[in-house]
Amino acid sequence: MRALVTGCAGFIGSHLTDTLLEAGHSVVGVDCFNDNYGRAQKEGNLARARDWNSFELLTFDLSQGNLAAVVSNCDTVYHLAAEPGVRSSWGNRFQRYAQNNLIATQCLLEALRSSPQTRMVYASSSSVYGQVESLPTREDVTPRPLSPYGVTKLGAEHLCHLYFENHGLHTVSLRYFTAFGPRQRPDMAFNIFCRAALMGAPITVYGDGSQTRDFTYVDDITAATLAAGTLSTVELGQTYNVGGGLRTSVREVLDTIAELADRTLDIRNVAWEHGDVRDTGADTTRARRDLAFEPRVRLEEGLRAELDWINALPSAREMELAL
């Protein structure tokens, strides 16, 4: 298989790229290396992929380029490129979210109209749900995003579905629930918590720490994403939850990190931020049925892997400066 992976230098995109290459597929990776965080980490994420002759990296903005030639020779498209982050999606930055999440997706879908049998897997987010009344949450619950970021992710889902309905494109959308693990972005909670634990720095927690999330290890997300692009049992035009299967509070996560790091944490609670939801939890019945999805990595094991990865980064001083 020849696969196109957008956002290939990112957290999940780089893991997916490595998995595809190790499985014997060739990969065309696209990334614009924007300034959300340092390019050095993104380049590091691609270190293994660059060792493969079957990997080709293209650097450009999906919302600006003519994508027909890029997708024409690909069997599957994994669209993971996006402008991430709930809290930063308010105000003037929303234009970046509209461009990188909506316009970029529409440009990719337009390019695929000339090869509608190419399957496209779109990486969406549990942020589309907002504050839900039922947990675990099924895909047929009416989405009510609580942040501009969630709005753009849901909008891109709708674009995928309308191109499926109107033009016969083979689209599939996956709603990821709170991914964690090695290569996680430096602005994400677990990365911040682990760095602070290793450095003995204060940890800011929004709210009282009783809020829960369905934390999902990156390898489990990668497995579900690969399955969505390859299995014949996948229902085209469908949306699937991808979650770790066990809701855990932020307070419990911090207790686990403290135990793994063998350190008492300096936790400082502040007020809730706009866009934050109280709880998330994925009903993965549909993904288990069609994607053979079975989350395998439990929270403590995954946290240990992320903590070890951060601890092995080049310089503790760099971690300190980033906090």
Provide the annotated active-site residues.
149
How far is the C-alpha of 273 from the C-alpha of 279, rounded, in Å?
A: 14
Burial class (CB in 10 A: 0-12, 13-18, 19+), 264: exposed
Residue whose structure tokens are 């893991």: 15
CB 273 within 8 A of CB 250: no
Burial class (CB in 10 A: 0-12, 13-18, 19+), 301: exposed
Residue 283, classed as helix, strand or coil, is: coil
Nearest CA to 100 among 112, 88, 116? 88
How far is the C-alpha of 124 from the C-alpha of 21, rounded, in Å?
A: 23
Residues with Cβ within 8 Å of residue 271, at least 6 apart in sequence: 206, 207
DSSP state of 72: T
Output the six-digit token pair for 91.
């105000």
How far is the C-alpha of 299 from the C-alpha of 216, rounded, in Å?
A: 8
Nearest CA to 210 among 246, 251, 178? 251
Nearest CA to 89 among 103, 81, 79, 100? 100
How far is the C-alpha of 11 from the C-alpha of 222, rounded, in Å?
A: 11
For residue 90, CA distances in Å to 75, 81, 85, 250 come to 36, 19, 10, 24
CB 85 within 8 A of CB 148: no
Residue whose structure tokens are 């793994």: 260
